[in-house]
Structure 1
Amino acid sequence: MAKFDIRPDIDAAAERLSNTVGSKREINKLPEVLWEGETVDMLATGIYGKGNGLIAMTSMRLIFLKHGVMSQQIEDFPYSKISSVQWQGGMIFGTLTVYASGNKAEIKQIPKENGKALADKLRMHLAQGSTPGAASAPASAVPGQDIGSRLATLDQLRAAGAITDAEYQDRRAKILDSL
C-alpha cells in the first residue's frame, strides 16, 4: 500500500483504502479542495462522469475529486442536501448512488469493501441527522430509534469496517450513557 505524508486524517483514511491505483494524484491534491476545519473521515475510489477519481467523506460533505493532467473535476454533496444514498454491490465493485436536492449521482466501480463501508457510515449519519465529524446525537434526538437498534447499527458499522474499534467503544459508551 502506498504511504502518504499529507495530513494525519488523510493519511489514516488512505491507509484504509484497498487500492490507491489511479487516485494518488487526487489524494495529494485533496488538501487544496478541503474547507478550513474540514477533516477527512473515509476515502474510496470510483468512476463518476468522465473519469476515475477519489471519493472523500469529510466532516462536512461528500466530495468526488478527479485531478487529471488535462482536466479537473470536483463535485461535492453537502450532507444537509443529501436525502438518501443507495449501495449496490457486485462481486468486486459496486455503485454508490447519492440523491441530493432532487438530483441523482452515480459513482461506479467502487471497490466493494470501501464502498459498502462508506455507504453504511454515510447512511448512519443521515439517519442520525448528524455529520460524520460531529458527535453522535443523543438518544432523544434520534426519533423512532431505540437504544437496541442504535447498538445494533453500531455493531454493523464496526463489522463492516466503517468505524474503528476506538470509535465503536466511544459511541457505544455515549449510547449507554444516554439511558
Structure 2
Amino acid sequence: MSEKSRLDEIREELDRLGINPTIFARKEIHELPDILSEDERIVYLVEGRNKVTKHHIILVATDRRIIFVDKEFLYGLKMEDFSYNKVSSIQYETALMLASIDIHIADNILEIDGVGKYDAELFCEKVRDFMSHPEGYFEKKSEPTILDQLEQLGRLKDNGVLSEEEFLSQKRKLLDQ
C-alpha cells in the first residue's frame, strides 16, 4: 500500500472516531503511515504539548500500544511507543478549559498538557480499558467448547449449585449435541 493511501486510510479512521486534529497536528499525522503497522487500528488520538519541550505533539492509543509523536522542523522526528503492559497508571487533571495527561511508564512519567478536557478524559478511559483486559481482548470471542461447558457444570455441582441428577441431565444434553 502506498504511503498516500495509508495516510488517507488513517484520516478516514480518525474521521470515523470523530477525531478532528487541528492544523498544528498535521506534521505528526503525516508521520503515522511510517509508524503504524499495516493492520494496527487507532483507538483514540489527542494532541497537546510536551510539558518538557513545549512542542506540539500527538498521543495515539492503538489496539497495540501508546505512541508519542513529536515532529519538529528543526529537531526532526521524536517517536516513542509503549505497550500497554508497561503502563503502570494514567491520569488526567483538568483546568479551566484544558487538561493534562500523565502516563507512568516504569520509572518515567510522560507529561502532556494543553489537551482538551473531554479528549483527555476519553483518552485515559480508552487506555485504562486496554490495560484492564488481557491480551487477545480484540480478537473475536469464540463460543465455549463442550469441554469448557462440562468444566463449568462440574464446578456448579462441586459448589452445590447443581444436584447430581441435574448435573447428569445437563451433561447428557451437552454430549448429545
Whole-Å separation in 2 of the counterparts to 1:20 and 1:111: 12
Q: 2:123 aligns with which of 118, 123, 128?
A: 118
Amino acid at match of 2:61: M
Unmatched runs of 5 consecutive residues or more in structure 2: 143-177
User: Which TM-score applies when normalising by structure 1?
Assistant: 0.65
Instruction: State the superposition RMSD in angstroms.
Output: 2.6
Amino acid at match of 1:123: R
CA displacement, residues 126-168 of structure 1 (integer Å, 9 cap, x when unaligned): 122348x724889xxxxxxxxxxxxxxxxxxxxxxxxxxxxxx
Q: 2:73 aligns with which of 69, 76, 79?
A: 69
In structure 2, relative to structure 1, the CA distance for the partners of 1:21 and 1:113 (3 Å cut) is farther
Aligned to 2:146: none
Percent pairwise identity: 21
**Structure number with bigger Rg:** 2
Whole-Å separation in 2 of the counterparts to 1:126 and 1:86: 13
CA displacement, residues 20-40 of structure 1 (integer Å, 9 cap, x when unaligned): 131011112111112343222
Listed as ranges, the matches of 1:60-139 within 5 Å are 60-71=64-75, 72-130=77-135, 134-135=138-139
CA displacement, residues 56-100 of structure 1 (integer Å, 9 cap, x when unaligned): 111111111111211221121211211111111222211111111
- Whether the aligned pair in 2 keeps the contact of 1:93 and 1:112 (CA below 8 Å) is yes
Amino acid at match of 1:66: D
Whole-Å separation in 1 of the counterparts to 2:124 and 2:11: 18
Say whether residues 1:38 and 2:43 are aligned partners. no
In structure 2, relative to structure 1, the CA distance for the partners of 1:90 and 1:27 (3 Å cut) is same
In structure 2, relative to structure 1, the CA distance for the partners of 1:7 and 1:18 (3 Å cut) is closer
In structure 2, relative to structure 1, the CA distance for the partners of 1:113 and 1:137 (3 Å cut) is farther
Aligned to 1:12: 13
User: Partner of 2:23: helix, strand, or coil?
Assistant: coil
Q: 1:52 aligns with which of 56, 61, 64?
A: 56
CA displacement, residues 8-52 of structure 1 (integer Å, 9 cap, x when unaligned): 344332562354131011112111112343222211101113111
Aligned to 2:159: none
Aligned positions, number: 134
- Whether the aligned pair in 1 keeps the contact of 2:14 and 2:20 (CA below 8 Å) is no
